[in-house]
Amino acid sequence: MIETMRIETIERPFDDLSCLPYFKWWAAQTTNEPHMITETPEDLLASALVALFVFNSTNESPIGAAGIFPARTKDGEAIFHQGQLTVEMGSNVVAEPYRCHGVGKTLIEQRIAIAKQRGWLPVSVTSNPIVHRVFEQIGGIAVNGDPEFKSMREGLCLCTDRTPDCKICPMAERGCWVFSQPK
């Protein structure tokens, strides 16, 4: 863990436009990652239920960001699993010089804790094998072969034909992860 970092949690960020510069930094980081959907600052700001930013406490520059987003179908409908709201822990980014120092893992663990406190089911869709290893370390469960989660995975899928051929498909092997069992 980096000793000189500060984490800020922003609840309902769409109510606080003073944080827009941080969302611009966050969106710019998504353009550099092959396993991520490129986001705009406006989309991130408008859709995040909770945003977390990590700052270098020496110079207050952002070094990491992540959010909790309502999981929605491609038609915009909220996804529930066994009556529990499903939220996606998306767009976890860490600036290159700060990777492999625990920043990303900290963002993941904090988002899981926030989601569980609110009674939400935290999920993540990723094809990144480095993130898969972190998920395994913290007790994440890849649910691709589990028929109990099939409808949730299908709801998260943005593809029209439900084939696991895109880089972020929840239907792909180890593409969809759950972090707590439903109530």
Say how many C-beta atoms besides its own lie within 10 A of residue 17's C-beta. Answer: 10
Domain annotation covers residue 66:
yes
How far apart are the C-alpha atoms of 65 and 50, rounded to whole Å?
11
pLDDT of residue 162: 53
**What average pLDDT does this structure show over 39-65?**
88
How far apart are the C-alpha atoms of 4 and 108, rounded to whole Å?
19
Domain annotation covers residue 24:
yes
Which region holds residue 58: left if phi is over 0, alpha if psi is between -120 and 50, else beta? Answer: alpha
Tokens 């944080």 sit on residue: 19
Domain annotation covers residue 19:
yes
State percent of the chain over pLDDT 70: 86
C-alpha triplet 112, 116, 117: angle, nearest 5°: 115
What residue numbers bound the domain in which 48 lies?
A: 5-178
pTM: 0.84
pLDDT of residue 55: 93
- Band of residue 165 on the pLDDT scale cut at 50, 70, 90: low
CATH number of 79's domain? 3.40.630.30
Domain annotation covers residue 130:
yes
Domain annotation covers residue 137:
yes
Domain annotation covers residue 183:
no
Q: How many domains does the chain have?
A: 1
- Band of residue 166 on the pLDDT scale cut at 50, 70, 90: low
Q: pLDDT for 87-120, tens place per residue?
A: 998 888 888 888 888 898 999 999 999 999 999 9
pLDDT of residue 182: 43
12 against 37, higher pLDDT: 12
